[in-house]
Amino acid sequence: MLFHVRMDVALPHAMPADQAAELKRVEKARAAELQQAGTWRHLWRIAGQYSNFSVFDVASTDELHDLLSTLPLFPYMRIEVTPLVRHPSSIRNADF
Amino acid sequence: MLFHVRMDVALPHAMPADQAAELKRVEKARAAELQQAGTWRHLWRIAGQYSNFSVFDVASTDELHDLLSTLPLFPYMRIEVTPLVRHPSSIRNADF
Amino acid sequence: MLFHVRMDVALPHAMPADQAAELKRVEKARAAELQQAGTWRHLWRIAGQYSNFSVFDVASTDELHDLLSTLPLFPYMRIEVTPLVRHPSSIRNADF
Amino acid sequence: MLFHVRMDVALPHAMPADQAAELKRVEKARAAELQQAGTWRHLWRIAGQYSNFSVFDVASTDELHDLLSTLPLFPYMRIEVTPLVRHPSSIRNADF
Amino acid sequence: MLFHVRMDVALPHAMPADQAAELKRVEKARAAELQQAGTWRHLWRIAGQYSNFSVFDVASTDELHDLLSTLPLFPYMRIEVTPLVRHPSSIRNADF
Amino acid sequence: MLFHVRMDVALPHAMPADQAAELKRVEKARAAELQQAGTWRHLWRIAGQYSNFSVFDVASTDELHDLLSTLPLFPYMRIEVTPLVRHPSSIRNADF
Amino acid sequence: MLFHVRMDVALPHAMPADQAAELKRVEKARAAELQQAGTWRHLWRIAGQYSNFSVFDVASTDELHDLLSTLPLFPYMRIEVTPLVRHPSSIRNADF
Amino acid sequence: MLFHVRMDVALPHAMPADQAAELKRVEKARAAELQQAGTWRHLWRIAGQYSNFSVFDVASTDELHDLLSTLPLFPYMRIEVTPLVRHPSSIRNADF
Amino acid sequence: MLFHVRMDVALPHAMPADQAAELKRVEKARAAELQQAGTWRHLWRIAGQYSNFSVFDVASTDELHDLLSTLPLFPYMRIEVTPLVRHPSSIRNADF
Amino acid sequence: MLFHVRMDVALPHAMPADQAAELKRVEKARAAELQQAGTWRHLWRIAGQYSNFSVFDVASTDELHDLLSTLPLFPYMRIEVTPLVRHPSSIRNADF
C-alpha cells in the first residue's frame, strides 16, 4: 500500500553544527535501511528546498506512522501524508 | 530529469456523459503511450479525489510542457509542477 | 485500518430538485450499506454545513478509494482523506 | 453532544527533555481519565504528525472549554473545534 | 449555550429578481421568529458585505444545525460556526 | 457604533509565570472597566482557544484603536476588526 | 472617520455588453456624486486589475454600509473594509 | 506615480524597551521628513493593529525601494506594495 | 522601470472554439507589438499551466495599467503585479 | 532551460551584524560569479521587500538545486521554483 509523503525540514538556526550533522547522519542511515527494506520506495529532493517527496510502501498506517515519527529529523519536520492507489490509467503493475 | 506533477481534474457538471467518456478514453490512451515511452514514469491516484500525483522523466521543461498542455484533459485540470533532483540519501541509482 | 474523511457537498443550484432528491436517496442507501458492513464506522454532520466528518475502517487505500469514488455524490464533493493510527494515549482497544 | 477537535502539538525545541516527558505523562494520565469518564470519546493519532483528531461528548461548550484549556499541553497546542450533530444517514443510534 | 456564526450569502446572478426577493422575505420572517424566541440572540450586518455575524443561544448542536440548515438562504450561504463560552473577564451574567 | 473584534493571544513560552499572571490581572481589570462603561459590550471566549470574539460600542475608530492598542495584552495579540451595522432583519433596537 | 475599502469587481462573462456598460455608467455617476460630497475621499485603480483601493470619510458604519451596498456594482464586487485612524507619525491634520 | 503600501510591524518581544523606543523615534522623524517632502503622501494607522496603509508618491520603483528599505523599522516589517493609477471614475485631478 | 507580472488565463469552457481562437490571435499580435516596442521585455510560459511570468519596462504605472487592461484576454485573466528594482548584486547594467 | 525562482530572505534578528554582513558579502560574490557564467540570468529586487525574482539558465534540475542549496543565504531563505518554457507569443529567440 503506497503513501505519498512531503517532508519540509527546518532545523533551528541556533542548533550547533555538529549536532545538526549528527542528526543528518543518523537520518541518512535510517533512510538507507528503510529503502533497502523496500519500505521507503522513492525519495526525491525538491529542487531549491530542504524538502522531499517520498513514497512509502507499507502494510498499514501504523507502520507508516511508526516509521515517520521515529525519524531522527521528525521533530524538525512538517509532514503531509496522502494515501495513494493504483491509477486506472497506470500500465505499471509494480507501481502500487 | 524528473518533475513531480499534481493534477486535479474538474469536469463541468454540464458536460454530456459521452463527451466526458470520450475525453477520458483518449486521455487514458495518451497516458499509456507516454508510460510506455518511459516519459510518464509514475502515475498514482490520490485516494478519495479525482486527482493524481505523477512523476515525469523528460529532457527539458519544453518537453514537459508540451506533454502536459496537450493532454486531452488539460483544459479541465489544475496542475502544479515541482522539479525534483536525486536526494542525497537515496540509495536508488535509477530513481532520478 | 482507519481513515478520517471530510466531505463537503456542493450540488449545482441549477440541478432539478427531483434529481437532487434521487441522488441523496441512493447516497443514503449506500451509506447505510457501508455502515452495516462496518466499513463506514462513523458519520457525523458538521453543524451548520452540508458537510460531514467520517471515519472509514478499510483493509487498504484501494478499498477506501473504491468506496469514496463510487459514492453517488462523489462528483459533487470536495474530499480530504487523513490516515489515522492508534493514539498512544487511547485506552480504547477497539477504536483503531 | 459531540464536538470534533483537532489538536496540533508543537513543543519548543529548547524545552528540556525531562520537562517534555513530564508534560506528556500528565497529559496521558488526564486523557485516560477523560476517556474512562466517556467524555473523550475518540482519540486518534494523525499518521505522520504530532497531532490528533478527537471527539468529545460533553453537556456544554463550557465543559468542553474547561477540559481543553486545562490539558497540560494546552499552551503548546493549536486547537480547532467543530460542533457535530447526528448525520441523517447515520444508522448508529449511539454515535451522537 | 452560545454559538458564534458567520454567514456569507451569494445568490446566483442568474436568479430571477422575484425569486430572490421571496427568498429574502421568508428568510427575514424566519429570522424574526427565531429572534423573538430568543434563539437568534444577535444578528449584525458586516459593513460592506452581504454577510452577517450572529450569535445563537441553543440547547444543543442539533438545535443549532436544524435552525441553520432550514434557513431559506441556507443553500446559498457559506457558514462558519464557532462555539463560545463565558469569558473569565466578562462581567455580564446574562451574556453566555 | 459597533465593531466586531477577534483577539488571538499568544504569550511567549519563555515569559516568567508571574509576569504573565500580572499581565492577565491588569488586562482583566481594564476589561471590567470598559465593560462597566458599556464600551466593551460583549466578550466571549472561543471554546478551546486562548482567543475571544468581542463587540465594542464606540463613537469613532479613534476611540476603538485607543482602547485596543492600550490593552496590556496588545503586544501579544493578533487582532481582526470588522465594522458592524444594524442588520435589516434584526428586530432588536438596542443591538447596534 | 476614515475607512479603507478594497473592491474587486467580477462581472459575469455572460452579461450582455450593453448591460455591463450601463452598470458602469451609473456606477461612475454615483462615484462622482459621492466624491463631490467629500464622502468618497480617495479612489485609486489597482494597476493591472479590475479593482480599486478607496478611502471613505463617513460619520458612521451605517453610512458606509449604505453607500457600499447601494453601489450599482455591489452584487458583482468582493469588498474588504478596514477602519483607519490617524497615525501617530502623520503630520497631516486633514488626512483622517 | 502612486504606490499603495501596507506595513505590518512586529518587534521582537525580547527587544529592550529603550531600543524599541529609539527605533520608533527615528522612524517617526524619517516619516515626517518624507511627508514634508510630499513623498509619503498618506499614512494611516489600521485600527487595532500595529500596521499602516500608506500611499507614496515617487518618480520610480527605485526611489520607492530606497525609501522603504532604509526605514529604521524595515527589518521588523512585512511590506506589501501595490502600484496605483488614476481611476477612470476619480474626479480628483491631484490624487494620482 | 520594470514590473513583474503573473497572468493566469481561464477561458470559460462554454466559449465557442472560434471565439477563443480569435481572442488568442489578437492577443498574440498585441504581445508581439509590445515586445517589438521593448515594453513587454520578457514573456515566459509557466510549464504545465495556461499562465505566464512577464516583465514589463514602462515609464509609469499608468502605462502599465493601460497595456494590461487593454489586452484582449484581460477579462479572462487573474493578474498579479510586482514592482522591481535593480538588485544590489546584479551585475547587468541593462536589466532594470 | 529556464527556471523562475523567488527568494525571500529572513535573517534572524539576533544574528550579529558582522556575521550578517559577511554572509551578504559572500552571497554577492557568488551571485556575481553565477551571473558572469550566464547561469543566473536575471536577478531583480522586489520593491519594498528583502526578496528577489530570479531566472536561472541551467542544464538540469540537479544543477539548479546545487546552485541554490549552496548559496550562503540558503539556510535563511524561503525559495519557490517554477519551471519556464518559451511562450508561444514570445518573439525573442534568446529568451528561453
Closest chain G residue to H5 measured between Cα atoms? G53
Decide if F79 and H13 are in contact by the 8 Å CB cutoff: no
**Is the CB of B4 inside 8 Å of chain A's CB atoms?**
yes
pLDDT digits (tens, 9 = 90+) for J2-30: 999 999 999 999 999 999 999 999 999 99
State residue G46's pLDDT score: 98
Adjacent-strand bridge partners of I77: I9
Contact H8, H51 (CB under 8 A): yes
Q: How far apart are CA F31 and CA B73, in angstroms?
A: 58
Contact B49, C79 (CB under 8 A): yes
**Is the CB of G17 inside 8 Å of chain I's CB atoms?**
no
Cell of I53: 511570468
Cell of J31: 551571485
**pLDDT bracket for residue F13 (50, 70, 90):** very high
SS3 content of chain J, % helix, strand, coil (to 5): 35, 35, 35
Cell of E69: 440548515
Give, in degrees to the nearest 5, the angle at Cα J57 between J55 and J60: 120
Contact C41, D55 (CB under 8 A): no
**Is the CB of J28 inside 8 Å of chain H's CB atoms?**
no
Beta strands in chain H (DSSP E): 2-9, 40-46, 51-57, 77-86
pLDDT digits (tens, 9 = 90+) for E58-84: 999 999 999 999 999 999 999 999 999
Q: How far apart are CA F62 and CA F83, in angstroms?
A: 13
Mean pLDDT by 10 residues, chain G (96 residues): 98 97 98 98 98 98 98 98 97 90
**Is the CB of J38 inside 8 Å of chain I's CB atoms?**
no
Contacts of G13 in chain I (CB under 8 A): 12, 15, 75-76
Cell of B13: 457538471
In our burial notation (b when 16+ CB lie closer than 10 A, e otherwise), range A47-57 reads bbbbbbbbbbb
pLDDT digits (tens, 9 = 90+) for F16-64: 999 999 999 999 999 999 999 999 999 999 999 999 999 999 999 999 9
Cell of J76: 535563511
Q: How far apart are CA J60 and CA B1, in angstroms?
A: 7
Q: Tell me the Cα Rg of chain B.
A: 14
Contact A2, A55 (CB under 8 A): yes
pLDDT (tens, 9 = 90+) of chain I, 96 residues, equals 999 999 999 999 999 999 999 999 999 999 999 999 999 999 999 999 999 999 999 999 999 999 999 999 999 999 999 999 999 999 999 888
With a cut of 90, say whether residue H68 has pLDDT above it: yes
**Is the CB of B92 inside 8 Å of chain C's CB atoms?**
no
State residue G96's pLDDT score: 82
Distance from CA of J62 to the nearest CA of H (A): 32
Residue recorded with cell 554572509: J23
Q: What's the mean pLDDT when you consider all of chain D?
A: 97
Q: How far apart are CA C23 and CA C11, in angstroms?
A: 10
Contacts of E61 in chain D (CB under 8 A): 1-3, 83-85
Three-state DSSP at E35 gives: helix
Of J13, J48, J50, the CB nearest to H81: J48
End-to-end CA distance of chain H: 7
pLDDT (tens, 9 = 90+) of chain C, 96 residues, equals 999 999 999 999 999 999 999 999 999 999 999 999 999 999 999 999 999 999 999 999 999 999 999 999 999 999 999 999 999 999 999 888
CA distances C1 to A63, C61, C71, C86, Å, are 11, 9, 20, 9
Determine how many CB atoms are found less than 10 A away from the CB of residue C92. 14
pTM for the model stands at 0.96
Among candidate residues J73, D21, E28, J45, the one with its CA nearest the CA of residue H65: J45
DSSP symbols for J2-31? EEEEEEEE---TTS-HHHHHHHHHHHHHHH
pLDDT digits (tens, 9 = 90+) for E15-63: 999 999 999 999 999 999 999 999 999 999 999 999 999 999 999 999 9
Please name each of the domains of chain G with its CATH number: 2-84 (3.30.70.1060)
Amino acid symbol at C52: N
Among candidate residues G46, J52, B4, the one with its CA nearest the CA of residue I47: B4
Among candidate residues B77, B28, B29, B31, the one with its CA nearest the CA of residue B56: B31
B21 CB burial (10 A radius; 0-12, 13-18, 19+):
exposed
Q: How far apart are CA H34 and CA H78, in angstroms?
A: 20
Beta strands in chain B (DSSP E): 2-9, 40-46, 51-57, 77-86
Cell of F14: 519563555
**Is the CB of H56 inside 8 Å of chain J's CB atoms?**
no
State residue A96's pLDDT score: 83
Contacts of I3 in chain G (CB under 8 A): 47
